Amino acid sequence: MRRKHRDIVHVGRDGWLFLIGGTNGVLTQYRLTLGRWWRLRAWTKLVEARTAKARELGIRYLHTLVPEKLSVYDDRTDDLHFDPRRSPARDLARRLRDNPAFVDLLGPMRAGRDGPVPLYYRTDTHWNYDGCLLAYRVLLHACGAVPPADIGERIRFETTRIRDLGEKLPNPPEETASHAAIDRDAKRVYAGPLVTAYEDAGRAGDLHVGAHVRYRNETPGADPRTVILFGDSYAHFAPIMLTGLLAETFREVHFVWSSSIDWAYVASVKPDLLLFEMAERFLTRVPDDTFDVEAYQKAVMPSDLRDHT
């Protein structure tokens, strides 16, 4: 069946929902086109350039992609016709196979997809807590770090709500999912003006690019290194996903929501590790790494929130 470009959500087996359209044209990214070839070539050069620049600053750079649910759970898509072997993340991993800065999550997540618990929400684009925990362990191994002994045993709780793919259907389904209370040892010691303004206004869920926070972990067992993480909603500025797990592990963690690196900020902090995380579907846009988080926050502050800064 040939799908129309406007189709956004595919309903797979057993109520599994998949993003296939949207502004990034997710399903079309699995087609071998000249545009895709050029974009992945540009990303390869960007990762190599970032690795070299970080090395010049005495910093280790690690780059990872969060696989699309299509790339991991293709076995649950039912009648959707695409080839998961053409995943952009898989192709980029091949191009960077000799670059130790690239951390592949697709292989481990596909290997774990039939485990006792799912790694993604059934009705959401995002990985769930267990998927994030798996990716976190892979990243820590690449960093040469050891997770806290009890990180997988934190108190669990459940939430039930309509999630981002479910809300696009005529009869939105609710999904119950298990989370963990991650934040125990780390404390947020800084929140940028955008985070403060949105939180004070009760609109934290509306904030994306430009969110900037810093966590500090003074426990004796924390890895003594400082980390800067440039990421997106799979990491998040709240201590609920990858940022929270890293904050429980390292002495200091800075998070900036951006796909473009602010090198001036990196140079000012001088972290031991510079991490980059991004969803696979955003490979359609290659950043220029001219981001200035401080200037951006001032430029995009909504007028109705300026009184909260």
pLDDT in tens, 270-306: 999 999 999 999 999 999 999 999 999 999 988 777 7
Residue 7, pLDDT score: 84
Exposed, middle or buried, 136 (CB in 10 Å: 0-12/13-18/19+)? buried
Calculate what percentage of the chain has a pLDDT beyond 70.
97
pLDDT in tens, 213-241: 999 999 999 999 999 999 999 999 999 99
Residue 198, pLDDT score: 94
Q: How far apart are CA 17 and CA 76, in angstroms?
A: 9
Joined together, the tokens standing for residue 5 give 């470009």
CB 61 within 8 A of CB 289: no
pLDDT above 60 (res 2): no
pLDDT in tens, 169-216: 999 999 999 999 999 999 999 999 999 999 999 999 999 999 999 999
pLDDT in tens, 147-176: 999 998 999 999 999 999 999 999 999 999
Q: How far apart are CA 199 and CA 197, in angstroms?
A: 6
The DSSP secondary structure of 127-181, one letter per residue, reads: B-HHHHHHHHHHHHHHHT----TTGGGSPEEEEEEE-TTGGGSSSPPEEEEEEE-
pLDDT in tens, 240-251: 999 999 999 999
Angstrom distances, CA of residue 281 to CA of 36, 65, 74, 153, 285: 12, 9, 15, 31, 9
Calculate what percentage of the chain has a pLDDT beyond 90.
93
pTM of the predicted model, to two decimals?
0.95
pLDDT band at 45 (very low <50, low <70, confident <90, very high): very high
Q: What is the mean pLDDT of the chain?
A: 94
